[in-house]
Chains A and B, each alone.
Chain A
Amino acid sequence: MGAVTYPHETVVKFVDYNFVPLKIEITNTALAQQFGVSWTPTILVLDADGKEHYRSVGYLSPEEFIATFQVGKGMFYLGTEQFPEAEAMFEEAITNSPQAHAAPEAIYFMGVTRYKHTHNPKPLNEAYETLKAKYPQSDWTKRAEVWG
């Protein structure tokens, strides 16, 4: 991550605009144990109280990093019930990075966000139909089958 992804200009701007960036060596066993981290890279999204809202394990290219942490920030907003902001982040990932691994995850949680915001189950069905049409092989499509 340090050699390719973090020096990428688009990633620098994305991280600076969206997050407070914090790097901790995994040899800091107290924090590694506190967050249950045993492998690197492991990247978490936390709120200002230190509560975890999202986790990614393993290397991400610059393009995948941005889409993944658009979803990660969306999950922060979803977890803190800031629903319009969550929708906006998931929409960015869906629109800007349709080829990214995180795109079907963004569609899944867009459905969840709209459902939690409105208590109307229709967005869950819409999310499943979109996943089935665009990402039939995705794990997220299988996870959404019950919404069909």
Chain B
Amino acid sequence: MAMEVCWLNDLDKAKEAAKRANKPILLDFFYSQ
């Protein structure tokens, strides 16, 4: 089974998750063609 990164798409939810997990956020700005 292929693995993939489970991206969030909401900054506030990412901040909450970062607090809970004690991890930094990796924020990727992308352009969907």
Using CB atoms and an 8 Å cutoff, list the residues of chain A in contact with chain B.
1-2, 6-7, 9, 11-13, 15-16, 18-27, 31-32, 35, 37, 40-50, 53, 69, 72-73, 76
Interface residues of B in 1-33 (CB under 8 A from A): 2-11, 14-15, 17-19, 21, 23-32
CB distance from A39 to the nearest CB of B (A): 8
Q: Are A21 and B11 in contact (CB under 8 A)?
A: no
Chain A interface mostly: mixed
Contact partner of B21 (CB less than 8 A), chosen from A20, A25, A47, is A20
- In the complex, what's the smallest C-beta–C-beta distance from A4 to chain B, in angstroms? 13
With A12-B3, A50-B15 as known contacts, state yes or no: A21 contacts B29, CB within 8 Å. Answer: no
A12-B3, A45-B26 are known contacts. Are A50 and B11 too (CB-CB below 8 A)? yes
* Chain A residue nearest in CB terms to B30: A40
When distances are taken between beta carbons in the complex, the residues of chain B under 8 Å from A15 are 5, 26
Contact residues in B for A35 (Cβ distance below 8 Å): 27, 29
Which A residues touch B8, using CB under 8 A?
20-23
By a CB distance below 8 angstroms, the chain A residues around B14 are: 20, 22, 46
**The one of B4, B17, B29 that contacts A26, using a Cβ cutoff of 8 Å:** B29
- Contacts A20-B8, A24-B30, A47-B18 known; list 16 others, CB within 8 Å: A1-B30, A6-B5, A7-B3, A11-B5, A13-B3, A21-B25, A21-B28, A24-B29, A25-B29, A35-B27, A45-B27, A46-B18, A46-B27, A47-B24, A48-B24, A48-B25
